[in-house]
Structure 1
Amino acid sequence: METTATHTIDGKPVDGVEFFDVINPATASVFARAPDASRAQLDLAVRAARRAFESWRAVPAEERRKILFGFASAIRAQQQGLAQLLTREQGKPLAAAIREIDGTAARIEGLAKFELTPETLRSDERGRVVLDYQPLGVVGAIAPWNSPLLLGVQVAAQALVAGNSVILKPSPFTPLATLKLGEIAGKTLPRGLFNTLSGGNELGRWMTEHEGIDKIGFVGSVATGKKVLASAAASNLKRVSLELGGNDAAIVLADADVDAIAPQLFWSAFVNSGQRCMAVKRVLVHESLLDRLGAALSRLANQVKVGDGLEPGVELGPIQNRPQFERVLGLIEDAVRRGGRALAGGAALDRPGYFIAPTVITGVAEGTPLVDEEQFGPVLPLLAFSDVDAAVSRANATRFGLGASVWSANPQRAADIARRLEAGTVWINSHGGSVPEIPFGGFKESGVGRGLGLMGIKSYAEVRVLHLPL
């Protein structure tokens, strides 16, 4: 069993005082142990990050960019080892893990190209008014378990570009690759700038309460995001950015080409075994296409290779952890009890690990938890509609608002419908994906603020208005 993982504090490896088990979801067995940070270790990390911040904030943007590009290169240099570790702890296929490592490096590079520069708001006989951006200080980044490196570094990179220092906490379900990333950071970034600590929910609470942390960037569930927001407000009113869950609707119009869109829709829903905040979570399809689309998606579900992510050719891995595995199975069973019909899948696979067969369900409607909640697993409900206006209303009738999409042979008509959807991102004839230069976030309970792009980086700075003489 591997027990070599360490925290990184002030650029140095720090052993755990206590440890917790890490489970391979493809086998449901413990394969490693990770260090469980103490409150004293968090205090050490905060002090180290504060010292590093005072130096980093004065580093010119171009020099920061070169340093961060060096960090990205160092990550790519260890891509294979990081990917193997990520697959073992998260479950995703090795090819997907390699893409995540590459995407993590690309996130750093893409965000590092931005620079916060002063903006002149007024310049006349009354004088000049200039808006400038000042870094906040120490940022606590709390990452989820579905794409732990990509999403943890996404928060951290925005903070670093804006001139802050970082303490990154991975999910206790997937701590190992992030801790290895901390080792890389310790060797390539200024000392104390990028600290990594692993631990459970208690460590997350300590971070949100800590008065030495100036902002929390959190990616995860709505329920936990609400707790983060409340805790941060109760301590030192620290700034908070939240990228939370979604219940993304895809609206398929009557003129859509089923054969052409079915593979895109399938992978938009099932990539990473459905464990993706921006995945398609429900499909509203015109009644004339329901049977054809259901058959096409079911064929794909039955053909896809599910298994251990380290096995050759595997396309979908397991659910990452037992609680989520049991939750998704419960949603499927509840939907079937309510009259739903599984066109494909519908049950766990008869093998070790947290595997659920890719599942397509019809005969369900709003009011069913599978439809109303975020399933975050390999199951997709199809719901028929006859009236487009009603479909838009149904798509919007949710507390979530992360993403949505419209599928049609008429892109202009689809665009008109897209403008009526209450979501942070709406796609036409595609669904999902984000890039460093374009802001991403959600309406309603799907988040607070926007990440990525210049807008995201600005959210990791304080805005100062300067009234200056002409």
Structure 2
Amino acid sequence: MTANIELPPSQHYINGEWVGGGDRVIPVINPADGTQIGEIPSGDQHTVGAAVSAARAAFHNPHWRNMPPMVREGLMHRLASLIEENASQLGQIESLDNGKPIAFSSSVDVPMTITWFRYFAGWCSKLSGKSLSPALQPLDSHHAYTRRQPVGVVGAIVPWNFPLVLAAWKLAPALAAGCTVILKPAEQTPYSALKLAELISEAGFPPGVFNLVLGDGQTGQALVEHPGINKISFTGSTAVGKSIVRSVAHDLKRVTLELGGKSPTIILPDADMELAIPGAAQAVYANAGQICFAGTRLFAPRKQFDRILEGIASVAETFKIGPGLDPETLLGPVVSQKQMDGILARVDDSVRHGASLFTGGTRHGDSGYFISPSILVTEDRQNPAFREEFFGPVLCATPYDDLNDVAALANDSSYGLAAHVYTSSLQQAHQLSNSLDAGTVWVNTQLSPDPNIPFGGFKQSGWGRENAEDALDHYTETKSVIMKVDC
């Protein structure tokens, strides 16, 4: 099933050239069957240094730095068109090394990537400062204004769950702002980023504006620590995010972090169950649960609790489990043996600590890294199922009695990335959305980010915001200019 997929070069892309580098190689595994589909070099400090030098030279090159915004916009639209022309191949690549269903990668991941580049292309010509009136001087004595200038060289580190989409979430605003970028994809899922490098080159971006360095956590750490990097944009685990913060303390690099989540799905008694039940199932099981803002904690009225759980389990049973490249698959494997083993170990640990297993909790089949859709039930807020991010197709379900207590239940987490609310009451929707500690609240819908709506988390779910104009604030610096004009 993989023989006809053409993979891009397995090399670093630096200063417009494909290059080797690094003394280690990392195998890339197909999570649907555990076979090796390729290998990549693991970049070392020398590799990272070469990429940073190229990016810094490109940032200061007048050809990029002084490029008219509309010309930069044209490059980004050209890139979006090339992604569209290569959509079929990109969808197949994304399903091959990630395992996600081709039905999703071709209808969600690739179209979303195109949309993000087109949306941020429009911002190239709209990043402007303000004319300001001094508060302490006569109005006719000084002229003051601000400029928004690109922050510089950006190190963008993306995870394996949405390799192409999350690369676009970082690259599009960075390029629109006039930054140069070094992208480090996850070692498990490098190929869509490598294909993107081919298309960026074909689109005509100047050499060094975009660079790609392959490798694992050691490579990412070398990127974080390099003094030539002005900003790090990271999406991944909270633990790694905290490590990055410690690493950049010595030189105070700009940092944005989109980290873990344990997002609640709250079904109120008046909810339309024909909408809420399949919505709750989709919120937790899409992409095999490997979504940072997946609805992995369910809070449902006790009187309707059994009906809701049975409904979610019934919906999950309709999801065909299989290889991502099978067009009928709706639930693919998790990304690796390590990921599968970790998820199943957390399920067992939750049961040992008192949670009951409503359904699933086991490996599906004997080949590949498949996990059956699972539901754990607990009212113990200290149970691992309630507190820990599993990052797999596992739902923790908790009944509630009093509607006034549900916000406190949902907020009892170190995370605050997102929440999902199902209700027929506009008043309750507004009240509950206001009470929830979450960067995004979806009401009567789920898992639907938008390029014009900021996305990010409260608490240990991260710093800063992706998407919309808010994202551009992280890729620019504001400079104030004050001129005395009556001299």
> What is the TM-score when the length of structure 1 is the normalising length?
0.96
The equivalent position to 2:117 in structure 1, one of 100, 108, 129, is 108
Q: 1:11 touches 1:187 (CA, 8 Å); kept in 2?
A: no
The DSSP-based 3-state class of the residue aligned with 1:357 is coil
Structure 2 CA distance for partners of 1:449 and 1:126, relative to 1, 3 Å: farther
Alignment of 1:151-300 (within 5 A): 151-188=166-203, 189-234=205-250, 236-300=251-315
The equivalent position to 1:26 in structure 2, one of 15, 32, 48, is 32
C-alpha distance in 2 between matches for 1:431 and 1:87: 22
The equivalent position to 1:323 in structure 2, one of 338, 350, 361, is 338
The equivalent position to 1:118 in structure 2, one of 94, 118, 129, is 129
The DSSP-based 3-state class of the residue aligned with 1:417 is helix
Alignment of 1:340-359 (within 5 A): 340-359=355-374
For residues 282-341 of structure 1, the C-alpha deviation after alignment (integer angstroms, 9 at most, x for no partner) is: 011111210110110010112210110111300010011122211110121122233433
Aligned letter for 1:5? S
Q: Which deviates more, 420-429 or 430-439?
A: 430-439
The DSSP-based 3-state class of the residue aligned with 1:441 is coil
Shift of 1:3: 9.2
Alignment of 1:434-449 (within 5 A): 434-449=449-464
**Counterpart for residue 78 of structure 1:** 86
For residues 148-184 of structure 1, the C-alpha deviation after alignment (integer angstroms, 9 at most, x for no partner) is: 1110221111111111000000011111221221122
Q: 2:287 touches 2:332 (CA, 8 Å); kept in 1?
A: yes
Aligned letter for 2:133? R
C-alpha distance in 2 between matches for 1:4 and 1:159: 25
Q: 1:179 touches 1:197 (CA, 8 Å); kept in 2?
A: no
Shift of 1:364: 4.6
Structure 2 CA distance for partners of 1:3 and 1:428, relative to 1, 3 Å: closer
Stretches of structure 1 lacking an aligned partner (at least 5 in a row): none
Q: 2:275 touches 2:444 (CA, 8 Å); kept in 1?
A: no
Aligned letter for 2:16? G
Aligned letter for 1:167? I
How large is the Cα RMSD of the aligned pairs?
A: 1.7
The DSSP-based 3-state class of the residue aligned with 1:419 is helix
**Counterpart for residue 11 of structure 2:** 6
Q: Which deviates more, 299-308 or 37-46?
A: 37-46
**Counterpart for residue 431 of structure 1:** 446
Structure 2 CA distance for partners of 1:104 and 1:3, relative to 1, 3 Å: closer
Q: 2:58 touches 2:208 (CA, 8 Å); kept in 1?
A: yes
The equivalent position to 1:145 in structure 2, one of 149, 154, 160, is 160
C-alpha distance in 2 between matches for 1:222 and 1:117: 34
Q: 1:338 touches 1:364 (CA, 8 Å); kept in 2?
A: no
The alignment status of 1:15 with 2:30, answered yes or no, reads no
Q: Which deviates more, 225-234 or 164-173?
A: 225-234
**Counterpart for residue 413 of structure 2:** 398
The DSSP-based 3-state class of the residue aligned with 2:133 is strand
Q: 1:49 touches 1:193 (CA, 8 Å); kept in 2?
A: yes
Aligned letter for 1:177? S
Shift of 1:461: 1.0
C-alpha distance in 2 between matches for 1:327 and 1:319: 11
Structure 2 CA distance for partners of 1:418 and 1:3, relative to 1, 3 Å: closer
**Counterpart for residue 65 of structure 1:** 73
For residues 18-61 of structure 1, the C-alpha deviation after alignment (integer angstroms, 9 at most, x for no partner) is: 42100111112211111222322221111111121123221122
Aligned letter for 1:102? P
C-alpha distance in 2 between matches for 1:362 and 1:140: 41
Shift of 1:469: 4.2
Q: 2:299 touches 2:406 (CA, 8 Å); kept in 1?
A: yes
Shift of 1:432: 2.2
C-alpha distance in 2 between matches for 1:195 and 1:166: 6
Q: 2:103 touches 2:327 (CA, 8 Å); kept in 1?
A: no
C-alpha distance in 1 between matches for 2:397 and 2:154: 41
Shift of 1:126: 4.7
C-alpha distance in 1 between matches for 2:367 and 2:289: 20
Q: 1:396 touches 1:421 (CA, 8 Å); kept in 2?
A: yes
Q: 1:8 touches 1:182 (CA, 8 Å); kept in 2?
A: yes
Aligned letter for 1:92? K
Identity fraction in percent: 36
Q: 2:8 touches 2:195 (CA, 8 Å); kept in 1?
A: no
Aligned letter for 2:480? V
C-alpha distance in 1 between matches for 2:65 and 2:403: 52
C-alpha distance in 2 between matches for 1:121 and 1:271: 48
Q: 1:142 touches 1:204 (CA, 8 Å); kept in 2?
A: yes
C-alpha distance in 2 between matches for 1:437 and 1:244: 20
The equivalent position to 1:38 in structure 2, one of 44, 67, 75, is 44
The DSSP-based 3-state class of the residue aligned with 1:263 is helix
Aligned letter for 2:212? T
Q: How many residues end up aligned between the 2 structures?
A: 469
The DSSP-based 3-state class of the residue aligned with 1:311 is coil
C-alpha distance in 1 between matches for 2:481 and 2:449: 34
Q: Which deviates more, 139-148 or 172-181?
A: 172-181
Shift of 1:280: 0.4
The equivalent position to 2:402 in structure 1, one of 382, 387, 412, is 387
Q: 1:166 touches 1:195 (CA, 8 Å); kept in 2?
A: yes
C-alpha distance in 1 between matches for 2:322 and 2:273: 28
C-alpha distance in 2 between matches for 1:280 and 1:36: 34
Q: 1:301 touches 1:345 (CA, 8 Å); kept in 2?
A: no
Stretches of structure 2 lacking an aligned partner (at least 5 in a row): none
